[in-house]
Amino acid sequence: MDEQGCPRCKTTKYRNPSLKLMVNVCGHSLCDNCVDLLFIKGSGACPECGTAIRRSNFRYQIFEDPQVEKEVDIRRKVLKDYNKKEEDFNTLREYNDYLEMIETIIYNLANNIDVESTKKQVETYRKENKDSIRKNYSKLSKDEEYIEMLIEEEQQNSTIRKQMIHESELNEKNKKRREKEALIDDLMFSDMSANDILNMHKSSVNTAMEVESDITTQPSQTTIYSTGIQRGQGTGFIPMPVTEVNPVYSYQGFDLERIGPEYPTEEEIKLNGYLLNIRAVSESERGGGFSAVQCCQRALHDALGGLFHYSEAASTSVI
């Protein structure tokens, strides 16, 4: 499918980005402008297949393929009648057969296979099971019941929490008022100086607050979400970020392995006149970062390193 577009006015999504396709029971799409135009009277024939359709049955196309929309429509209609629940069957096998049958009906209707006979089948089923359909219509399946229950529980919990908060706020207010009154009483009747009284009250208020904050326990949290997932589950799996404390790096000099006599150091090379005996470094070479000491050192290292090399096995071999 290259480009979504209205089959009637040939407008495409590319030319009109705000294009909205709508679909009806027959599974053919139309853009909303064409729907407004064609179904001004409320009902008419589908321009594609000629099926009589009503404007109120148009909905916005969600899936790119209108065929899918058609199937969704049919499924909804069929499931309105075939609304038995798992509890209505004796065995799982029977229930699965029943589901299989529904799928076959939907497939047939969506793909125009034996439409008439299938429709008849649905009709007879509806007549035969009129009572049970009506009964099941209002009945909820087990899962739905469970979810309903959870939601209810959550709501209850939240109202309780609200109440508790409200009460504690009220308490606080009362207490403050009482403290204020006590302070004023003290100030009016006590012999102590006003400053002392104020300080005393302040400290007593502070201690009281501390005690209270210790006592007040957090309202117990709900443990289950409405989806049935346990709250707090899985928190144990969040790994604590472990910060490794490494010792601070400190440089340690290394000893070059020589298998030979000591190398002269850089200073010795400079002081003892080694550099007089090698080619002078030209200015352009010095500009490039080359120094005579390095190559002199390299030659000396080559000359001295390995002088003591000796493998024991050699001692047995005869010259």
Q: Which residues are near other proteins by CB under 8 A?
A: 259-262, 272-274, 276-278, 296, 298-310, 314, 319
Q: Output 117 or 272, the one with its CB closest to other proteins.
A: 272
> Cβ(57)–Cβ(50) under 8 Å?
no
Nearer to other proteins, 225 or 290 (CB): 290
* Nearer to other proteins among residue 230 and residue 317 (C-beta): 317
Q: How far is the CB of 288 from other proteins (least distance, A)?
A: 16
Report, in Å, the least distance between residue 266 CB and other proteins: 14
Q: Do 195 and 253 contact (CB within 8 A), yes or no?
A: no
CB 265 → other proteins: shortest distance, Å? 14
Nearest-approach distance from CB 282 to other proteins, in angstroms: 14
Residue 296 structure tokens: 């002199």
SS3 call for 314: helix
Three-class SS of 220-262: CCCCECCCCCECCCCHHHCCCCCCCCCCCCCCCCCCCCCCCCC
Give dist(CA 88, CA 133) in Å, integer: 12
Nearer to other proteins, 7 or 264 (CB): 264
Residue number with CB closer to other proteins (102 or 275): 275
Task: Please check whether residue 75 is in contact with residue 106, taking contact to mean a CB–CB distance below 8 angstroms.
Answer: yes
Q: What minimum distance in Å lies between the beta carbon of 292 and other proteins? A: 11
* Chain centre distance of CA 312: 69
Query: How far apart (Å, rounded) are the C-alpha atoms in residues 158 and 152?
Result: 10
